[in-house]
Amino acid sequence: MLALALLLDAALGEPAWLWRRLPHPVVLLGRLLSRLEAALNRGPARRAKGVAALALLLAAAGLPAWGLAALPAPLGPALEVLGAAILIAQRSLVEHVAAVAGGLARGLDEGRRAVSMIVGRDPEALDRPGVARAAIESAAENFSDGVAAPVFWFAVAGLPGIALYKAVNTADSMIGHRTSRHEAFGWAAARLDDLANLVPARLSGLLLALVSGRPGAALACIRAEAHRHRSPNAGWPEAAMAAGLGVALSGPRAYQGRMSDEPWVNAGGLRDPGPAEIRAACRLLWRAWAVLLGLAGLALLGDGL
């Protein structure tokens, strides 16, 4: 089922004609969390209320997925494959990252517009290399969150596993911020997302390193620099991507009008990447995806034997 889901996502991605007519499951989760946040994120005991909101979100994601997976064959397995393909984001990730390369090739303004779709930093503060670095960093981090982690949790627990993971990841992206409004309410979401990504992030880093043109350098960069990242997990795929492509990533950047003095990752690498390096990152994503597909195929062969 996992191999089929990977192939289906790669073939179709997220067809706009479908999601213009139907709400994407992640969109539905986001709407539910928005309502829970508006109702509960006030007054005392905000951390406890955030835990309750996260539990309700997990139930809303996990119970329908468990019900679908429990249906008899062939309907149940078919729906599991379809659900997993919807929640794995390989093709859409590559398309969004490649769009930044195309936009940047046409001009800085178009590059900024394209990168604003995939990063949270201020695009107007980015110069040409900054746009490219932001796109490459997003490619690395979102490969972990959008591809490797869903694949891992589907392998562990089927459709309920991937649905629960996407609920946690959605909650972290919406409320898992260290701001005055969300630091207490989003505490559980942020901590659970760190835990859920512990293994997938390291798997992502190893995959990206091994399929790069510089596996030795990429693995060395992971060992030396992954722990320096502000996230306990994102440093693994980002370090692998930086050294694997021979570019410097991270560094100072602006978030919500404020400068953040982040350390460089692979500081000796190229600091002025452009469209060519973004496209190289996309090729690296497909090679890592191919390894995941191969592992799923080996598991299928092992089941057959």
pLDDT value at position 278? Answer: 98
Q: Which string of DSSP letters, residue by residue, matches 14-59?
A: S-HHHHTTS--HHHHHHHHHHHHHHHHSSSS-HHHHHHHHHHHHHH
pTM for the full predicted model: 0.94
Q: How many domains does the chain have?
A: 1
Phi, psi for 254 (deg, rounded to 5):
-105, 130
E-assigned strands of the chain?
Answer: 249-250, 253-255, 258-260, 264-265
Q: Is the pLDDT of residue 302 over 90?
A: no
Cα–Cα dist 232/211, whole Å: 23
Evaluate the omega torsion of the peptide bond into residue 74 and state whether it is cis, within 30 degrees of 0.
yes
pLDDT value at position 233? Answer: 96
Residue 124: DSSP 8-state: G
Cα–Cα distances (Å) from 158 to 26, 150, 165, 269, in that order, read 17, 10, 11, 40
69-128 pLDDT, tens digit each = 999 999 999 999 999 999 999 999 999 999 999 999 999 999 999 999 998 778 888 999
Q: Is the pLDDT of residue 54 over 70?
A: yes
| CA-based nearest residue to 203, from 159, 135, 149, 165 | 149
Residue 181: DSSP 8-state: T
Higher-pLDDT residue of 139 and 120 is 139
Q: Is the pLDDT of residue 252 over 90?
A: no
Range of the domain at 70: 2-304
